[in-house]
Amino acid sequence: MTPVIPPTSTSFDTPELIRRTLAGERVPLARAISWVENEAPGSVELLDACFGASGRAFRIGVTGPPGAGKSTLVTKLALEYRGRGETVAIVAVDPTSPFSGGALLGDRVRMTELSGDPGVFIRSMATRGSMGGLAVHTAQVCDVLDAAGFQRILIETVGVGQSELEVAQTADTTAVVLVPESGDAVQAMKAGLMEIADVFVINKADREGAERAAFAIRSALELRAHPTEWRIPVHMTVASQAGGVPELVDRFEEHLVFLRDTGRLEERRRARLEQRLTDLLQARLWSGFRARVGDEAWREQLAALASRQATPHQAAEKLAGK
C-alpha cells in the first residue's frame, strides 16, 4: 500500500494521518476531517480505518427551526458533559448556507466558552459531496471523531427541512428544539419533527407561552398514530443561563440506556448503515451512468425535451437503454 499524498496535505501521508487521527491528535484529526469533506485521495482508506474503530461514541442530534437557540444550547450541553468527564465533539451542519455564516457565528460564540479545552472538538460543515448527500458526509465525519475517541458527539443542524431531518437521523438520539411561540410547536408537526424527536426541548423557556407550547406538543404526542415505548420528554431550558441543561443531559443518558437495554441502539445503527450504503451506491450508480451515456446523447435528449419532441419519460427511456 503506497502512501498517497493528497493535494490538501503537504505534511501527512495516509498511514501516518490515520495512525495519528486514531490516536486523537487534534491537528491530524482536523486534517482528516478535511480529507473526508473534500473526498481527498486518501479519504477512503482513512474512512475504512475510522469505521473499524468507531461505534463507541454516543451521537446526539440537535435540530429545530432557525432561531431556536441551538448553538447556545449545544455549547452548554458540551460544557455539562465536560463537567461529567466526557469528551465532546460538536459538528455544526448547515446544509443550505452558501457561506455557512450561521455555523461560523455559532462557533464564534462557542470559542469563548469552550476554547482551550482539549476534551472538546468543534467543526462546522456545509459542503455537500459527490458521494451522497450531506448526511453521508456527516456520518463519515462522526466516524472519524468517534474513532479519535470522543465519547459524545453533538450534531447540530439548522432548519427543519428534509436534509436536516436526514442529518439529524444519523444520530443515536435526536433532540428537537423549539421556542415558546406556539407557532413553532404547531409547525413542528408540519415539519415532520414529531416523527424523529426522542426528546423535545422548549428553549428560551423564560419567555411567555412556554407552558402552553409544552402542552401543545404533549397533546400532539398523545395523538400520534404509533406511540413509542419510550415516553418522549418535553423538557424546558434557558440555554443562555444553562437553565435545565443538566437535566437535559440526564434525559439523553436515560435514552441511551433505554436504547441499549431494548436493543434499539443496534437496530437504529443498522438502519443508518443501510441508508449510508444506499446513498453511496446511488451516487456511484449515477456517476457511472452519466459516464456511460456521455454528454452528446445527454444534450440530444435535453434538446428534444426543450422542444417538446420528447417527454421526460421518453427521454429517460432512450438514455436508460444505453
Phi, psi of 263 (to 5 degrees): 75, 5
- Convert residues 261-300 into a mask of x (bound to a second copy by CB under 8 A) and - (unbound): -----x--xx--xx-xx--xxx-xxx--x-----------
Binding of residue 151 to a second copy (CB under 8 A): no
Q: Which one among 192, 227, 246, 294 touches a second copy, defined by CB under 8 A?
A: 192
97 neighbors 126 (Cβ within 8 angstroms): yes
164 neighbors 54 (Cβ within 8 angstroms): no
Q: Which lies closer to a second copy via its Cβ, residue 83 or residue 161?
A: 161
Cα dihedral across residues 83, 75, 158, 283: positive or negative: negative
Q: Which one among 29, 40, 160, 202 touches a second copy, defined by CB under 8 A?
A: 160
Residue 115, number of CB atoms within 10 A of its CB: 9
- Nearest approach in angstroms of CB 81 to a second copy is 26
134 neighbors 103 (Cβ within 8 angstroms): no
- Nearest approach in angstroms of CB 83 to a second copy is 30
**Who's near 298: CB < 8 A, 6+ residues apart?**
290, 319
Pairwise CA distance, residues 124 & 138, whole Å: 10
Query: Residue 253 is inside which H or E element, if any?
Result: helix 245-261
Q: Which one among 28, 159, 209, 244 touches a second copy, defined by CB under 8 A?
A: 159
Q: Which lies closer to a second copy via its Cβ, residue 57 or residue 120?
A: 57
- Nearest approach in angstroms of CB 88 to a second copy is 24
Question: What nine digits make up the cell of 12?
Answer: 501527512
Q: Which lies closer to a second copy via its Cβ, residue 117 or residue 266?
A: 266
Binding of residue 94 to a second copy (CB under 8 A): yes
Phi, psi of 244 (to 5 degrees): 80, 0
Q: Which lies closer to a second copy via its Cβ, residue 80 or residue 94?
A: 94
Binding of residue 142 to a second copy (CB under 8 A): no
- Nearest approach in angstroms of CB 63 to a second copy is 11
99 neighbors 105 (Cβ within 8 angstroms): no
Pairwise CA distance, residues 17 & 27, whole Å: 10
- Nearest approach in angstroms of CB 51 to a second copy is 4
DSSP string, 182-202: HHHHHHHHHTTHHHH-SEEEE
Binding of residue 260 to a second copy (CB under 8 A): no
Binding of residue 184 to a second copy (CB under 8 A): yes
Amino acid in the structure at residue 13: D
Q: Which one among 19, 30, 56, 101 touches a second copy, defined by CB under 8 A?
A: 101
Q: Which lies closer to a second copy via its Cβ, residue 249 or residue 265?
A: 265
DSSP 8-state code for residue 64: B
Phi, psi of 199 (to 5 degrees): -140, 135
By CB under 8 A, how many residues form the interface with a second copy? 61
What residues numbered 103-132 form the site for a second copy, per CB under 8 A?
Answer: none
Count CA atoms within 13 Å of residue 40 on its CB side.
23
**Who's near 315: CB < 8 A, 6+ residues apart?**
301, 302, 304, 305
Q: Which lies closer to a second copy via its Cβ, residue 186 or residue 242?
A: 186
Residues forming contacts to a second copy in the complex (CB under 8 A) are: 44, 47-48, 51-52, 55, 65-67, 94-99, 101-102, 158-165, 183-184, 187, 189-192, 194-195, 266, 269-270, 273-274, 276-277, 280-282, 284-286, 289, 301-302, 305-306, 308, 311-316, 319-320
